[in-house]
Structure 1
Amino acid sequence: MRQAEQSRRRATVGDEHDTIRGKRTGSAPVPLSVLDLATVGTGLTATQALRSTTELARQTERRGFHRFWVAEHHSMPGVASSSPAVILANLAAHTSRIRLGSGGVMLPNHAPLVIAEQFGTLEALAPGRIDLGLGRAPGTDGATAAALRRSGRAPEGADDFPEQLAELTRFLDDDFPAGHRYARIHAVPGPVQATADGGVQSPDRPSIWLLGSSGFSAQLAGALGLPFSFAHHFSAANTIPALELYRESFRPSAVLDRPYASIGVSAFAADDEKQARRQVLTGALTMLRLRTGRPGLVPSPDEAAAYDFSPMEQEFVDGWLANVVHGTADAVREGLDGLVKRTGADELMITANAHGGEARLRSYELIADAYGMPTG
């Protein structure tokens, strides 16, 4: 691809951030988006969980949420989003406006060419709507991470992530230099199709984001001039330091002329405080079991309420819930507004994990109502 064409495609990716920077949906201080894990509750199937994710994507599109991401996790019975590209293809068929993406794809688990092909296909299915959020963790335990690799070896370490990212970006842009071992290899669908006789160049390519819960990806995203999404929902103590590092490290690029940061936040609204507490306790118990090596399905609210927490377990749960914005719609709005003020985030990526799909649907409806977001 000629340099001018490459720069134009990358600039087009950056246009999305220029368009939404400062955008308000209703009275929300920043654009609101969704991160979903297709959670599977006790007594429910993966089919039901994935149908709930599809309905949630359709609902949040109607209500004016900006983007809808799904996350890659493995070997977790309560999470059905192990294959983001497959889920996103389905969501693309059931939506028409909302941006769709990965939050994220764990790059060490995959060959960069495979990811470029998958997300090039998604871009062809939903032009101008695809985000490729990338993480450097495996999204699972070490043994499962090794099983994900054909060689059976554990994924490369963090030091290899920049090299993997550079390779993936070159596949997406089809711009390996002459003499490179991959110069004659092309990710399809992709830019190479424009060089064939009669080929037409697509103006779009997936928008690359870096995701993280520490300073590594924050600094790398800043140095490369890429948008950054921080996992505040499970690393709240590191949020402000990581965002500061991102902004300090930022260098303008063909994608962005200034930093653009979103933060993932657990938020759950219900008709009253008691209902909200019952729902978020299911997520806290799920995390407790995961952190203690007992991953399982998401418990029901009754099961979570009846669980006999030890003092140490209660301490963990209290600490976890302290970072979950929950309560009535007005209380959640107040909490989200306060988070934007404290962090200076350009966008909020809300995750609302609960036992069943109906509760999640209701939560996002209430949040949208609290901000006066459209109902069409």
Structure 2
Amino acid sequence: MRNDGEPAAGGRADTVRGTAGGNAPVPLSVLDLVTVGKGSTASEALRTSVDIVKLAERRGFHRYWVAEHHSMPGVASSSPAVILAHLAAHTDRIRLGSGGVMLPNHAPLVIAEQFGTLEAMAPGRVDLGLGRAPGTDGATAAALRRSDRLGEGADDFPQQLAELTRFLDDDFPDGHPYSRIHAVPGPVQATSDGGVQSPARPQIWLLGSSGFSARLAGVLGLPFAFAHHFSARNTIPALDLYRESFRPSEVLDAPYALIGAAALAAETEAEARRQVLTGALSMLRLRTGRPGLVPTPEEAEAHTFGLAESDFVDEWLGNIVHGTSEQVRAGLDDLAKRTGADELMITANAHGGEARLRSYELIADAYGLPTL
């Protein structure tokens, strides 16, 4: 962190920018929600995550993120740091990170310690993506934060970010209440007797689905990830705001924008629609206060949608790139071109792990990604 009180961008450009593989126009990455389908368990969902991250590493996807959600039966990713530690044990090269950790839910020191530990487990390949929303409803957010932190939230995000960055860099100024507190593992170990400096620290990203984090990421010169998969209408305005606000930093001399894109490929167009309909029905239930496990394709096909429900599902499916592998490739290429995104992070939501695994394999094949 700089002495002017703003968080420094910390890290290096080569930990941010990816290299497009095969015939992909930009680097491709994976966002995993660790979805749990009906008739399945969280244990099975987490085993699927291991299978997918191994496939992603083998086929040259650039990074693999998991997202923090709470109180949702169909999403088993309430603890990103725990999941990432598990995935680190099964991988060697792919970047791993949070997409994201919801900063208002946690004390900055706790996040610094968790991700410092992850960095020690997987040196040089940890991303710390941070969001300012709670990732849940208000009551659950209150339960997470307890009474002494209820006043903190999205409005305090810049201050929380500054505090977290100082913990990661171990550079609180003399006289600060936290100047003698150190996030361990972290830089303090290098200044201890016989200590050795770690080569890297977690790379901070800001995540968002509106303009606030876009502008903040630009002002701080940080990489920015936008949730296009559930806020498509705001994508281009947010990216424009990020680029207009961007100031060069220690991390980046030019903006770097990643967008999350929902995409699912299958052997046929009909099968792809059958699979993505399960996610649409699951989201419909979530939005109407009835969260549950991801329904089976058979249940989704048999569901009778009311007029308003049909409109919601049609709009939701319209934001998902789905079809055969070539149709998905064409859709992703168009998305990258329309948005000018520097990287696409694909999330494939379906009832079963087999469909998701097959989708990533088909997309890799469509782009000619090599098997590493």
TM-score w.r.t. structure 1 length?
Answer: 0.96
Counterpart in the other structure of 1:98: 94
Q: Which residue of 1 aligns with 2:39?
A: 43
User: Residue 249 of structure 2: which of 246, 249, 253 is its match?
Assistant: 253
Other-structure match for 1:64: 60
- CA shift at 1:152, angstroms? 6.7
CA distance in 2, matches of 1:175, 1:115: 16
Give the aligned partner of residue 120 of structure 2.
Answer: 124
The answer on whether the counterparts of 2:35 and 2:349 sit within 8 Å (CA) in structure 1 is: yes
Q: Deviations over 1:151-195 (max 9, x none)?
A: 275362322000000000000000001100100000000000001
1:355/1:100 CA distance change after superposition, 3 Å: same
Q: Does 1:289 align with 2:288?
A: no
- 2:228 matched to 1:232? yes
Correspondence for 2:155: 159
Distance, in Å, in 2 between the alignment partners of 1:17 and 1:110 is 24
Counterpart of 1:180 in structure 2 is 176
The residue that corresponds to 2:132 in the other structure is 136
Aligned to 1:16: 15
Give the one of 346, 351, 371 matched to 1:355.
351
2:227 aligned partner, one-letter code: A
Contact 1:227 1:256 in 2 (8 A): yes
SS at match of 1:298: coil
Whether the aligned pair in 2 keeps the contact of 1:145 and 1:155 (CA below 8 Å) is no
- Asked if 1 retains the 8 angstrom alpha-carbon contact of 2:321 and 2:332, the reply is yes
1:367 aligned partner = 363
Quick check: 1:109–1:155 contact (8 Å CA) kept in 2? no
- The CA distance in 2 between the partners of 1:351 and 1:101, in whole Å, is 14
Could you tell me how far apart the structure 1 residues matched to 2:301 and 2:114 are?
42
Gaps of 5+ in 2: none
**Preserved CA contact (<8 Å) 1:224 1:253:** yes
Does structure 2 retain, via aligned residues, the 8 Å contact 1:97–1:129? yes
Give the alignment partner of residue 213 of structure 2, picking from 207, 211, 217.
Answer: 217
Call closer, same or farther: CA 1:250–1:10 in 2, change over 3 Å. closer
Count of aligned positions: 369
Answer whether contact 2:236 2:339 (CA < 8 A) is retained. Answer: yes
Aligned-partner SS, 2:185: coil
User: Does 2:313 match 1:314?
Assistant: no
SS of 1:94 mapped into structure 2 = coil
Structure 1 unaligned runs (5+)?
A: none
Whole-angstrom distance in 1 between the partners of 2:259 and 2:323: 20
Aligned to 2:147, the other structure's residue is in SS state: coil
- Structure 2 vs 1, CA of residues 185 and 240 (structure 1 numbering), >3 Å: closer, same or farther? same
Structure 2 length as normaliser, TM-score?
A: 0.97
Please tell me whether residue 274 in structure 1 is matched to residue 270 in structure 2.
Answer: yes
SS of alignment partner, residue 137 of structure 1: coil
Q: Please state how far the C-alpha of 1:14 moved relative to its aligned partner.
A: 2.3
CA offset digits 1:276-308 (Å, max 9, x no partner): 000000000010000000000000000000000
Q: Which amino acid aligns with 2:251?
A: V
Whether the aligned pair in 2 keeps the contact of 1:147 and 1:153 (CA below 8 Å) is no
Secondary structure of the 1:209 match is strand
Give the partner amino acid of 1:278.
R
Match of 1:264 in 2: 260
Q: Is the 8 A contact 1:12 1:203 kept in 2?
A: no
- Distance across 2 between alignment mates of 1:148 and 1:155: 13
Equivalent residue letter for 1:57: V
Q: Which residue of 2 aligns with 1:337?
A: 333
> Does the 8 Å contact 2:11/2:202 carry over to 1?
no
Residue 15 (structure 1) shift: 2.3
Q: Does structure 2 conserve the Cα–Cα contact (< 8 Å) formed by 1:138 and 1:155?
A: no
1:118-146 Cα shifts (integer Å, max 9, x gaps): 00000000000100000000000000000
By how many angstroms is 1:149 displaced? 1.4
